[in-house]
């Protein structure tokens, strides 16, 4: 009997406006590294979420990696999931926008892979709400993975959890191990005489980009015959006990205190963060105008800019926090600029929008830019 069953979920994504050089660096340091290990060790398996945005970027910048991924998916070493194409924080959007983001992603997936194997779903940032889950259910997904903070009870990895009234299956990651470097933790656990199942969920960029595994922990555990690596789909099939549960809104970065205060998404929508408030005001204005002028001759471009502007990165980089050991400090004025630029371009594209509507949008955009750079120079770049 294997000592450890490792259910490994990995999420990879880059914002749609990411610089080509950054993508090339991360693809070389992280994605290529992972795909090489998957090819080298056929027993290495992973459930992977790759956003449609990144698929399109790799198709243009590193098509060789996309071909390797297609091969790994065909061999069933990699199990893909659905998600939102531009990594929007779904609980903060309307049901209509949630569905659009998911369907946009499915359209990209089906151009490169078979959708028949895509049964699971990943909420960007594991940001969950029951309203968003209803849309996921409507679109035919069967399961998703979350952080245990969404559940008030104790998690047992031998139990299949099912959401009441929805019938969707949910898998919970181990937050503590996932926030470290999982391969190193598992390496040390394999030295002990304990049989257990470990479920981790991390950004894929932790492998090689954010963390250089100079001791080779990942490759060493893949050589250990006491380790059994499973996809989430494979793991769900071996569970025999079921339990119906309720869940609460939260993300994989939420704290208990934030959930208790009913502000589970402060990294993206902090009521005390002026830049967040201005960004969401611009989002709401852009959304209303894009819907209002649906027959506009430039509607395609207005809609495209809005889709890209909903990327969670814009808001995350305005939160000014240090979420975890391997996460950077979440402040980057250039990333805020990139996202707000997409939002204002959405409104600027609309030929039928009135002068008053456009001026209202420009004032919001200018306020975002002003507050961003004044904050940067006054607070984060003082000499």
Which structural domains are found in the chain, ordered by start?
4-257 (3.20.110.20), 266-377 (no CATH)
| Axis-axis angle for helices 333-348, 355-375 (nearest 10) | 180
Residue 69 near residue 35 (C-beta atoms within 8 A): yes
Q: Give the per-residue pLDDT at 322.
A: 80
Contacts (Cβ under 8 Å, ≥6 apart) of 105? 51, 52, 82, 83, 84, 85
Give burial (CB, 10 Å; 0-12/13-18/19+) of 274. middle
Token pair of 132, please?
A: 């968003």
The span from the CA of 1 to the CA of 195, in Å, is: 8
Q: Give pLDDT, residue 326.
A: 67
Q: How far is CA 121 from the centre of its chain?
A: 10
CB count within 10 Å of CB 325 equals 10
What pLDDT score was predicted for residue 383? Answer: 60
Task: List, run by run, the mean pLDDT of 10-residue segments along the chain (383 residues).
Answer: 89 95 96 96 96 97 97 97 98 97 98 94 98 97 97 95 96 96 94 92 90 90 95 96 97 94 96 97 98 98 98 96 78 96 98 98 98 94 67
Q: Are strands 46-50 and 143-146 parallel, antiparallel or unpaired?
A: unpaired
Residue 98: half-sphere exposure toward Cβ, Cα within 13 Å: 24
Whether 372 contacts 304, CB under 8 Å? no
pTM for the whole thing?
0.94
125-143 b/e (C-beta count within 10 Å ≥ 16 → b): bbbbbeebbebbbeeebeb
Write b or e for each residue in 173-194: b if 16 or more Cβ atoms lie within 10 A of its Cβ, otherwise e.
bbbebbbbbbbbbbbebbeeee
């Amino acid at each position: 009997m294997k000592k450890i069953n490792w259910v490994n979920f990995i999420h990879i994504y880059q914002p749609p406006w990411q610089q080509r050089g950054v993508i090339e660096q991360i693809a070389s340091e992280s994605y290529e590294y992972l795909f090489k290990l998957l090819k080298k060790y056929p027993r290495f398996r992973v459930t992977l979420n790759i956003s449609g945005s990144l698929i399109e970027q790799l198709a243009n910048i590193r098509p060789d990696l996309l071909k390797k991924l297609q091969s790994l998916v065909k061999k069933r070493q990699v199990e893909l999931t659905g998600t939102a194409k531009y990594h929007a924080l779904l609980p903060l959007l309307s049901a209509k926008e949630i569905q659009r983001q998911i369907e946009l992603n499915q359209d990209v997936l089906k151009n490169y892979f078979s959708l028949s194997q895509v049964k699971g779903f990943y909420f960007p940032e594991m940001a969950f709400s029951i309203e968003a889950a209803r849309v996921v259910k409507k679109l035919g997904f069967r399961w998703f993975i979350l952080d245990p903070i969404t559940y008030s009870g104790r998690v047992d990895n031998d139990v299949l959890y099912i959401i009441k009234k929805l019938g969707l299956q949910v898998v919970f990651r181990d937050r503590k191990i996932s926030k470290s470097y999982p391969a190193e933790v598992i390496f040390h656990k394999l030295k002990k005489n304990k049989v257990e199942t470990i479920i981790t969920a991390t950004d894929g960029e932790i492998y090689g980009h954010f963390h250089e595994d100079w001791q080779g922990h990942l490759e060493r555990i893949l050589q250990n015959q006491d380790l059994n690596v499973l996809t989430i789909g494979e793991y769900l099939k071996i569970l025999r006990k079921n339990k119906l549960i309720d869940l609460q809104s939260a993300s994989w970065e939420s704290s208990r205190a934030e959930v208790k205060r009913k502000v589970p998404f402060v990294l993206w929508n902090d009521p005390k963060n002026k830049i967040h408030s201005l960004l969401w005001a611009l989002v709401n204005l852009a959304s209303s105008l894009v819907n209002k002028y649906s027959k506009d001759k430039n509607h395609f471009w207005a809609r495209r800019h809005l889709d890209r502007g909903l990327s969670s990165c814009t808001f995350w980089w305005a939160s000014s926090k240090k979420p975890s050991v391997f996460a950077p400090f979440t402040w980057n004025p250039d990333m805020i600029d990139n996202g707000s630029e997409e939002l204002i371009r959405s409104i600027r594209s609309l030929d039928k929008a009135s002068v008053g509507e456009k001026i209202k949008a420009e004032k919001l955009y200018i306020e975002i830019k002003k507050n961003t750079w004044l904050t940067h120079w006054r607070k984060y770049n003082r000499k």
